[in-house]
Every structure is written in C-alpha cells, then in structure tokens.
Amino acid sequence: MQVEVWSDVVCPWCYIGKRRLEAALERFPHRDEVEVVWRSFQLDPSVPEGTTHPTLPALAAKYGRSEEEMRGMQQHVERVAADEGLEYRLADSLSGNTLLAHELLHLADEHGKRNELKERLLHAYFEEGRPVFDVDSLVPFAVEVGLDEAEVREALADRRYLAAVRADGATAQALGATGVPFFVVDRKYGAAGAQPADLLLQILERAWADAHPLVTVPAAEGCEDGSCAV
C-alpha cells in the first residue's frame, strides 16, 4: 500500500501532519507493507529565489491581520505542535522560495534518503530556526543524511530535478489539492490538512480492506445464532 504526502518544508501543519501519520502507522498492523512517498508542493512559489523575508509581518499583511493577532495564531500552532512532541520557533522565522529544497529531496530519493532528509529539513527550519532556501544552507543537511556534497551542488546547479518538482505540483492540482499536507492512499482515498492520527488510521484500515477483501470458503458444520443443533 502506498501513502503519498504532498507537503512543503516550511509548512508548520505539514510537520504536525507528519507526526500524526507516523503515530497512525505505529498502530497499523500492516505498517511494514506501507510505502510513504513524500511529494513536492510549494506554498508560495512566487517568492524570488535567493531572497528571504520575516514570516510574521508577511503573514499579517497577507491575511489582513495585525502582527499581534498573527503572533497569537502562531502561538496556537506552536501549542498544537508541542502536543505532537515538536518545539516550534515561529516568531522569528524567515520565509523564502523552497524550490531548491524540493529538488534536493528528489536527489535524496534516488539514494534512498528522502525520508531522512525530509525530517532533517523540517527539524532544522521549525525547531532550530535555520534557513532552507539556498544551496549553502541545504548542503550541510544533505551531507548529514549521507549525500555527497559535490553531487548535491552539481544537481542544484544544473536544476536536473526541477521538472520532477513541477510534476508533483501538477499531480497535486489534478487530484484536487489546494493546500498541504495532502495525504493520498493508493490514489483512492485523500485527506487534506493535518488530520488526527485516528482519522488517518481509519483511512489506512479502509484502504487495506479494499485491497485485501476477505475470502471465505464454503460453509462447514458449525453453530449459528448462539445455539447448536445436535
């Protein structure tokens, strides 16, 4: 069974959703037969590459709120994250274009390191307050999970995974995703947003049951309705 997750590395609800999916999978008896595939999705591809700006005032302007109101919303997200064991630092965060990060994740996928890099980037951005928007910022995280620095720099320079990132985005749009995280199980069941672990578990169980229907053999002698005929 395959679970595809569209998300961005600067989406606070995506990290929360990742933890909730992991919690659901821990309770799913067929966990070893589930493949989790991380797909690329950019929340704001319009941000010029190579630039960053403070997140809080930008969000306040986007949603027509005061910075005080927006900080209160951030604190709510921080509390939700804490319930999932995450220690967010949103007040002083920076925003930027995440295209290079997604390209790097596709490179990591070719080396079987996508899950590790995804976790590393999310942890770096949300819990360490580190940028994930340019080559020099991304290289240390890639090396930490076992990728070769020279290959990383070459791949991000020639943009060989740009088409793959855009293809992920196009697929998400075709499937009806308007935001992230967006979970899709076997291309049959979808769930938008950081759904509770219980709901994600229900989706996994239903998808498994659909893919593995109960097969019965012809009835033999037995008891029915609480009684037996002798």
Looking up residue 81, the CATH number of its domain turns out to be 3.40.30.10
pLDDT at residue 41 in the model:
97
pLDDT value for 139: 98
Pair type for strands 182-185 and 189-192: antiparallel
Residue 226 lies in a domain: no
Domain-located, residue 75: yes
Give the pLDDT confidence score for residue 228 in this predicted structure: 47
Range of the domain at 123: 2-211
CB 155, CB 109: distance < 8 Å? no
Instruction: Give 188's pLDDT tier (boundaries 50, 70, 90).
Output: very high
Share of the chain above pLDDT 70, in %: 93
Residues in Cβ contact with 15 at an 8 Å cutoff, skipping those fewer than 6 apart: 81, 86, 122, 126
Number of domains in the chain: 1
Lowest pLDDT segment from 25-34, 127-136, 147-156, 174-183: 174-183
Which tokens go with 23?
Answer: 């919690």
**Res. 225: pLDDT tops 80:** no
Span 149-171, average pLDDT: 98
Q: Which helix (H) or strand (E) holds 184?
A: strand 182-185
- Is residue 24 a part of any domain in this protein? yes
* pLDDT at residue 219 greater than cutoff 60: no
Name the CA radius of gyration of the chain, rounded.
21
Instruction: Point out the least confidently predicted range of 1-15, 40-54, 203-217.
Output: 203-217
Q: Do the domain assignments include residue 216?
A: no
Digit-coded pLDDT (tens) for 5-44: 999 999 999 999 999 999 999 999 999 999 999 999 999 9
Averaged pLDDT of the chain? 93
Residue 100 CB partners (closer than 8 Å, separation 6+): 49, 133, 134, 135, 138, 156
Instruction: Check residue 214 and give its pLDDT.
Output: 54
215: tokens are 């097969």
Q: How confident is the model at residue 33, as a pLDDT?
A: 96
The reply to whether 222 falls in a domain is no
Residue 224 lies in a domain: no
Res 211: pLDDT: 86
Q: What pairs with residue 191 in β-bridges?
A: 183
**pLDDT value of residue 213:** 72
The answer as to whether 230 is a domain residue is no
Predicted local confidence at residue 229, as pLDDT: 46
**Size of the chain in residues:** 230
pLDDT band at 224 (very low <50, low <70, confident <90, very high): low
* Residue 190 lies inside a defined structural domain of this protein: yes
